[in-house]
Structure 1
Amino acid sequence: MGKLVALAQVGLLVTVFGTGCSIIPSGGTETCVDWVRFETPQDQYDKSGMVLVGKSVGKVGETSIYGYKATTHLVEVERVLKGDPRDVNLRISSMPQTCTGGESYPDGDPLDTDQRVIIFATEQGSEWFTMTPAQGVLPFRHGTELPFR
């Protein structure tokens, strides 16, 4: 039923997930993605295409991925830790959860905050997304040390 897919960037494994289908109460089916779980923030950093410190300054639209709506935020980039965002204000979409009956963020959108955060991102096509729904954003207060090197 499921199929294993690997996304690679310059030979490095970025993320691995399985896909399958489930039946939703409305009688349709939905794609289910089993997200990789990172043991440490260092693992996330190592596998990310881009890592930055910044904060969302507002929602600027939606996109779609895996059949789910993903909210796109304008992120004010304070500091780039890895990668090249090519802009100080960057559009990043929160990766939606799957197998939720069509609800993209049952536990809340992780980028829907006015707090300073670390964002672990990956590029899908020409768009940036948080790496996974649960592990794409970490709170990051001023004076706190980075949880990776």
Structure 2
Amino acid sequence: MLEKHAQATAGAGAEAAAFPLQDSGSEILTARDMCVAYCSVAEIYFTDLCMEDRAGDQCRDAIERVLTYHPDNPEALQLMASYLFSTEKNQEGREYLMRSVDAWLPALKQSDAPPSREDIEEEHTQSGFPPYESRITMAKLLIEAEEYEQ
């Protein structure tokens, strides 16, 4: 089903991906669904299937697909940064990492009181905040990239 939607939106760019595709099974895929699915595929190739032939290429392809649906997706940008760090492309990885942070951290800093974990998790479903686990990974990557101020 993912491939069917990807083929249907290929060449049409992010605008086409923003509109849901209705399948004969009356399931509606949104661009957010596509992003989550491709991020999951990338994670699998990055971790569990990392020793398979072309795993790195498959991982990068999945991340790039997410970025065609949502170029500012913080989780996809973070995944790309992690992938690039693992391939020793540190400067390019740092750029993706900073784009990821810039996609959600300023909005979080603008709030008056520090939000609780529950507040952030609720906002994650309604906004662009990455989930808690992703933010922890982000902190580790920022340390690895020596971006201590962030």
Q: TM-score, normalised by structure 2?
A: 0.28
> Whose strand fraction is larger, Structure 1's or Structure 2's?
1
Question: Does 1 or 2 have the higher relative contact order (CA < 8 Å, sep 6+)?
Answer: 1
Higher helix share: 2
State TM-score, norm by structure 1.
Answer: 0.28
Q: Larger radius of gyration, structure 1 or 2? A: 2
